[in-house]
Chain A
Amino acid sequence: MVVQKEKKTINRLKSMYPLRAKVNETYLKSIEAIQAGKPAVWGMLNFYYGDPILKAMDIEVVYPENYGAIAAAMGVARQYLDRADAEGFPTHLCGYSLTTLGYASRMMKELKGQIPPEAPLGGMPKPLFLMSSAAICDARYKWFQALGRYMDVPVWPLEAPIPGIKEFFIEGYYDKMMKLGVKHLRDFVAFVEKMVGKKMDWDRLDKTANLMIEVNRVWHEVNELRKARPCPMHSRDFWSAMPAALFLAGDLEDSLRLYQDMYREVKDRVNNHVGAIPDEKYRMVFAELPPWHSLAFFDKLAERGWNFVIESFGYHPPIPLDLSKVSDPLERITKFSLQFLVGYFEDARKQNVLGGTSAYPYLKYVKEWKCDGALLHPLITCRSASTHLPYVSDMLIEKLNVPSLSIEGDIVDLRLFNPEDALAKAEPFEETMEHYKRMRKQAGFDW
Chain B
Amino acid sequence: MTAITPQIVKDHGLSEAEYARIKELLGRDPNLVELGVFSVMWSEHCSYKSTRVHLKKLPTKAPWVLQGPGENAGVIDIGDGDACIFKMESHNHPSFIEPYQGAATGVGGIMRDVFTMGARPVAMMNALRFGAPDHPKTRHLVSGVVAGIGGYGNCMGVPTVGGEVNFHRSYNGNILVNAMCVGLARTDRIFLSAAKGAGNPVVYIGSKTGRDGIHGATMASAEFSEDSEEKRPTVQVGDPFTEKLLLEACLELMATDAIIAIQDMGAAGLTSSSAEMGDKGGSGIELDLDKVPQREPNMTAYDMMLSESQERMLAVLKPGREKEAEAIFRKWELDFAVIGITTDTHRLVVRHKGEVVADMPITALSDAAPVYERPFVEAAPQEGAPVFDPSRDVMQSLVKLVGSPDMCSRRWVWEQYDNTVMNDTVQRPGGDAAVVRVHGSSKGLAITTDVTPRYCFADPYEGAKQAVAESWRNICAVGGRPMAVTDNLNFGNPEKPRNMWQIVAGVAGIGEACRALDYPVISGNCSLYNETNGEGILPTPAIGGVGLLKDVQRMATVALKRAGDALILIGATNGHLGQSIYLREIEGKEEGAAPPVDLSAEKRNGDLVRGLIEQGRVDTCHDLSDGGLLAALAEMAMAGGIGAQIALPEGAAAIPFLFGEDQARYLVAVPSANAAGILAEAKTAGVPAASLGVTGGDKIAVKDVGAVAIGALRKAYEAWFPAYLGGSELPPSN
Physical interaction between A and B: no
On A, residues with C-beta under 8 Å from B are none
